Amino acid sequence: MTEPDSPDAHAQSVLGPLTRAAVFLVATVDPGGEATVADALSGLAGLVRSVGSRVPTATLNCVAAIGSAAWDRLFDGPRPAELHVLPEFVGAVHRAPSTPGDLLFHIRAERLDVAFEFAKHLTRSLAGAVTVIEEIHGFTLFDERDLIGFVDGTENPVGPDRVAAALVDGADPGFRGGSYVIAQKYQHDLDGWDGLPVGEQERAIGRSKLDNIEMADDVKPSNSHIALNVIEEPDGTQRQILRHNMAFGAVGEKEFGTFFIGYAASPTVTELMLNHMFIGEPVGNYDRLLDFSTAVSGGLFFAPPAAFLAAPPTLDPAPSDAAAADSGESGPGDDGLSAGAASSLGIGSLKQ
């Protein structure tokens, strides 16, 4: 049971289990779209209930997160202490890009049709206010394996460690229960990967492929994916994140990939993992998996507590022309209709 004073009691559905399907939407906020976005965010929980009630067994949920560039456009007051634009990680061979993104919606359900239905209604509520720049329909492959054939998410924390790893607690009490989210799209060279002997694949991952057993430390290569993603404090304490990665693809276009999404109480943990993967630990000892998996997008977002979204501290709107007329001030045009007033009519369509 969740304790009333625990970070979990304040959080969005960050800690929910991995589902069979997910839809990921990344969007930018159009100029003048801020009020529409804030209104849609405040109605998110109600929309989840409305759509989810149609198929309760689908366990529909949605986590909304906001990027650094959009935060001050949408909300008044303080901002999360560690929210910033994701830096690029540029190594000698591979690069993790930082790409635009003001909003991230992580829609989870046991059925893709339910997640899709929710995404449809969500984007309608945002019509004319945002531009969707990335849409991924993810799925769980067989026994929670990635398209490269290995089980994904084995190192996820469990129990109380799950809360400590993913949710902000006392370090930033104004945002207790929030979570920093790093999302990246990776595309796999499956022909090249499948051409490797299984033993070489296992050395690249650091784990056996069939039975999912991690290699012993004295056998595991230092450039294996697992070795470079284990972050330990000087006292030996392991710092963890919560992953909700999903496979995606388009067979006709030979696109096969993983949408990585990692929730953390601090973005420094995930960023250090990316530094180790792309730049190397030590420098030059980069993640062998990157020779077959290319990062094509990436962003850092903050998923605020549920109560924050329900009643976001929105910015005061600019004075309307009617108010200006009442005060004796002249409007921007002879007809008294400003560009801001025209945009407030909500005319426009969602740009894909």
Torsion angles phi and psi, residue 215, rounded to 5 = -70, 150
User: Which tokens hold the place of 171?
Assistant: 């370090």
User: Rg of the Cα trace of the chain?
Assistant: 22
Its sign, for the CA torsion 51, 53, 57, 63, is positive
Question: Judging by beta carbons within 10 Å of its beta carbon (0-12, 13-18, 19+), is residue 284 exposed, middle or buried?
Answer: exposed
Q: Is 335 a catalytic residue?
A: no
Helix or strand holding residue 190 (H, E)? helix 190-194
Out of 8, 102, 146, 152, the active site residue is 152
Helix or strand holding residue 139 (H, E)? strand 130-139
Question: Judging by beta carbons within 10 Å of its beta carbon (0-12, 13-18, 19+), is residue 350 exposed, middle or buried?
Answer: middle
Q: How many helices (H) and strands (E) does the chain have?
A: 12, 13
- Give me the DSSP letters along 50-96: HHHTTSGGG--EEEEEEEHHHHHHHB-S---TT--PPPPEE-SS-EE
> Which amino acids are annotated catalytic?
152
